[in-house]
Structure 1
Amino acid sequence: MLGRVRFESTSQYKKKYYVDPEPQIGDYPNLPQRFAEERPQRGWWDRQMRRNFGEPIAEQDEILNMWAPTQYWSPGWKTVGKMWAGFIVTLGSVYYLISQARAERPYVRAFYPYGGLKEELGGVPTRTLASSIEEASSV
């Protein structure tokens, strides 16, 4: 019988159904970490800190109170994509409306026959690369 000792656990820890994630706070209520900025603006005894009289303070109050840095909300990628698509559609539609509403030119463009201004003004024709090479090789 000495070799067969039956081990029975008498630990209260294993019999608990609720395990406190922060065992060092003792019997103080384990409050959820919620920013004071997320609370509604009205209906509080202390309107600046958004807290009622006698309400227990969270353990991380200096991080969660109204003096903490502002928590910014950022939209999801679908929303951002819709915003970009709306911006591009708006920009395109404004461009289209401006191009359709543009006034006609107040002048008539000058028309020159096939020779361009060479015959009209009696000037030298425009030189091309081929004509320059041909002239240089003939010398």
Structure 2
Amino acid sequence: MAAFLRTRTVLTRFSSFQSFTSIRSAATWWRSGKKSQIEEDPEKLAAAIDPGLRLGDYPVLPWRSAQENAPYGWWDNQDRRDKETPLHEEDDALNVWMYDAVEANGKYTRGQALAHLMIMFSLLGGLFYLSVLYDAPSRNPAVPRQFPYNNLYLERGGDPNKEPDEKDLTARVAETYGEITS
């Protein structure tokens, strides 16, 4: 145990841990001279404190997004809050900069949103089906490649004594690394 205490003393004396602790605790010395409305009225304070959240004497505020507030008339127009308004414990999830709260606009019900989603997916599916139907693999938009000398009939192993027919003239000539194969 003595070795542990000695190590702890050395660490706090010779490291930046001590300055970190002093900086962290220095933030508590400053406090605004004004008291909030909840601090001035003890009945409101007693009603607002919830022991289950372990917030101490910090008021329990309603879960309400800042997007529901009016856009103008605030001390801080960007965050839609007044100077002395206490922040909610989950302010990072309720501020204006989070994703749009669905409850804030109330424009569509869940059924309407699902219907719009299904309409969008059906339109995309229909567009995909039309593209597959129109641009089938059998439809080649390019002109077939034409080669001289009767589509390279002799070079592909054709009989020089026989006249090439339509099948030989329209046969596909495959090229592999510059080598002509039949």
TM-score for both structures, normalised by structure 2: 0.31
Which is higher, the Rg of structure 1 or of structure 2?
Answer: 1
More helix by share: 2
User: What TM-score do you get using the length of structure 1 for normalisation?
Assistant: 0.39
